[in-house]
Structure formats: C-alpha cells, structure tokens
Amino acid sequence: MDTDPRAGLAERIAGEITLSDDPGATLRKWRTDFDVSQTDLAKELGVSSSVISDYESGRRESPGIDLVSRIVHALLEIDQRRGGDHIRQYARVLSAGFESDVVLDLREYPTTVPLSTVYDTIDATEVVSGERDRVSGHTIVDSIQAISRLSSDEFYRLYGQSTNRVLGFTNVTRGESPLVALRVVNPKPNAVLLHGIEESDLWEHAPTLAQRDGFSLAVTDLDLDVMLDRLRELP
C-alpha cells in the first residue's frame, strides 16, 4: 500500500464506488463501515442529509468523480478527527496485502492478553481448550472469501506478525471448511473463533481436529459489527 495510508485508502474507496454497478449501495457500505451517519456526512459536505439518502437509495443519479472524491475525503476527515481508528484498521489490512472484504480486521495488541479476556469480550463459548492461553492479536476473515480466494501462502499471512492470535471466521455454517483448511496450514494459530453459530451447530469433527492440532476452539453468535467493535476496544 502507499506510504500514506490515508491517501491509499481514499484512492481505493473512490475507485470502488466509481466502478460499482450500484454506487449508492457501495457508498452506503463505506459510510456505515466508518460509523458515519448520513447527517454527519451531509454536514461535512455542506449539503442536506436528504442528498446523501437520495444518492444511497438510487433516487438521485450516481455521483460524479468530483463528488465521490469529496465524499471519500469527508469520511476520512471525520474519522481522523475521531482518532483515526478506521483508517488505521484498513491500513493494517491492506498493507498486509488483502482486500477488506476478505480480512475484516487485523490487529496486533501492545501486550499479550488472556484468551479468556478476548472470549468474554465477545460472548464466545470455548468448546476446546488449547495449549496456549494468551494471545497478542486477532485476525477476522470472511470464511467464504478467504477459503475460495487465498492460496496457502496467503492464508499463512493472515497471522499478521505472529501466530499467537485468535483467527476468526465469519460466514460459518458448521465450521467444517475453516477447520479442514487449517489442517494444511502450519504453524497453527493459538485460537480459532467461529462466528455466527452456537456450540450445538458445530461440525461434529471440529473439536477433535482442534484437539489434535492443539488450538483453542470457540464459537459466538454475537452481532458481527458489535463483535468487531468490541475486539477493537481490547488493549
């Protein structure tokens, strides 16, 4: 990614909106990803909130390149004033060489934290205890996108700086595909989190595979956005 994360991110967002078959929906996706309300975005641009609503709903003709650029820079400016958390989040993901629809969040903690703290934070239930009970980061990926698009080398890069982390998978039905994929990846992460299911939904062989490979296995059905927000608040 560019040496200036903000500039590189602005270019990527603007390109995605401009080239989208549904620019309004793409604009809405990025606005909500940045936790910016239509009212706040409109105020930053000096327009009424109905203008933003009209663009996002398709009632107004797709915004041109100049307006898209203004919108993108407004989103980034608002985030910067709030502390720049979303800019840093996307910078981490993109600098690792992944698209943001594959890796939803990638973070290194300033210090190791008990795995139980992570699980408590996101209302996760540990199904299998692992060999290590502390982690120093997390990576949350869309399981369908990751498994279908990443090579084994790219899959390994999901670990970021260390395997001492929670590797979480969303878009999970039973957990079969992530657990099978991890069989061919070495070394293993400290913990694997399956999002969107309860323990009763889990693939019957998942606990055995986790025990065999020595990592903790947990599940949570917490709302995805809530889970991501809580993870970003970890020390």
Tell me the mean pLDDT in the region 175-180. 92
pLDDT: which is higher, 156 or 126: 126
Do 133 and 200 fall into the same domain? yes
Coil, helix or strand at residue 224: helix
Cα 111 to Cα 227: distance, rounded to the nearest angstrom: 20
Six token digits for residue 33: 């990803």
The answer to whether position 94 is within a domain reads no
- pLDDT tens-place string over residues 4-48: 778 878 887 898 888 888 888 889 888 887 889 999 999 999 999
The helix-helix angle for 85-95 and 65-81 (nearest 10°) equals 110
pLDDT greater than 80 at residue 164: yes
Residue with tokens 């947990």: 218
**232, 87 contact by CB (below 8 A):** no
Task: Copy the structure tokens of residue 49.
Answer: 């909130």
pLDDT at 175 over 80: yes
The predicted pLDDT at position 92 comes to 63
pTM: 0.63
- Same domain assignment for residues 54 and 141: no
| Sign, CA torsion 151/152/157/163 | positive
Which pLDDT does position 73 carry in this prediction? Answer: 94
DSSP state of 98: -
In a domain, 216, yes or no: yes
- 112 with 219, same domain: the answer is yes
- What is the number of domains present in the chain? 2
119 and 190 Cβ atoms separated by less than 8 Å? no
Q: Indicate whether 112 and 52 sit together in one domain.
A: no
In a domain, 93, yes or no: no
CATH classification at residue 202: 3.40.1390.20
Fill in the amino acid letter for 143. Answer: S
How remote is the C-alpha of 172 from its chain's centroid?
A: 15
pLDDT at 97 over 70: no
DSSP string, 18-68: HH-SSHHHHHHHHHHHTT--HHHHHHHHTS-HHHHHHHHHTSSPPP-HHHH
**What's the pLDDT at 1?**
40
Kindly report the average pLDDT of the chain as a whole number.
Answer: 87
